[in-house]
């Protein structure tokens, strides 16, 4: 499996960030380029469909939701260059009003060179980390 990750410091309490990201339907508010997010089901096993501005969609399934560790993971169900993709988000408190978000993914490159897949997904994770930071800090 190939792994990528992005880490960012956010000026907000860890619990506030966790409340946002643990709401599986809230992704449409902070993910880059997403214009709609619909969720079917509740808790682990819920599926969300993310629609971008070009009307393409991605379907994801919530795999784990650990409130104590502030960790969630979801799998990508849509055919992409990232086969068997499992993405994990972890929030850690750095202080009262400062937190660290680690957003990582493990996957198998499909149909493109591994280095290109790494660059694409690494870039997407970094952009989404920054977008989440900007959304929370507004």
Q: Does residue 79 have a pLDDT over 90? A: no
pLDDT confidence of 48, banded at 50, 70, 90?
very high
Residue the block writes with tokens 């992409």: 80
**CATH 3.30.530.20 given to domain 2-24+62-137:** yes
Domain boundaries, the chain: 2-24+62-137
pLDDT in tens, 82-130: 999 999 999 999 999 999 999 999 999 999 999 999 999 999 999 999 9
The whole-number pLDDT of residue 35 equals: 92
C-alpha 105/C-alpha 122 separation (Å) is: 9
Q: Does residue 55 have a pLDDT over 90? A: no
Q: 51-55, 103-107, 121-125, 132-136: which has the minimum mean pLDDT? A: 51-55
Three-state DSSP string of 44-109 = CCCEEEEEECCCCEEEEEEEEEECCCCEEEEEECCCCCEEEEEEEEEEEEEECCEEEEEEEEEEEE
pLDDT confidence of 81, banded at 50, 70, 90?
very high
């Amino acid at each position: 499996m190939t792994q990528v990750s992005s880490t960012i410091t956010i000026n907000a309490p860890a619990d506030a960030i966790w409340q946002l990201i643990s709401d599986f339907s809230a992704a449409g508010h902070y993910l880059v380029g997403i214009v709609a997010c619909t969720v079917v089901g509740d808790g682990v096993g819920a599926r969300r469909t993310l629609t971008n501005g070009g009307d393409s969609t991605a379907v994801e399934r919530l795999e784990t939701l650990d409130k104590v560790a502030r960790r969630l993971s979801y799998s990508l169900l849509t055919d992409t260059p990232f086969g068997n993709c499992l993405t994990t988000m972890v929030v850690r408190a750095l202080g009262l009003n400062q937190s660290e978000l680690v957003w990582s993914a493990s996957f198998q490159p499909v149909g493109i060179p591994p280095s290109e897949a790494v660059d694409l997904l690494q870039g997407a994770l970094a952009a989404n980390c920054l977008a989440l930071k900007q959304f929370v800090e507004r």
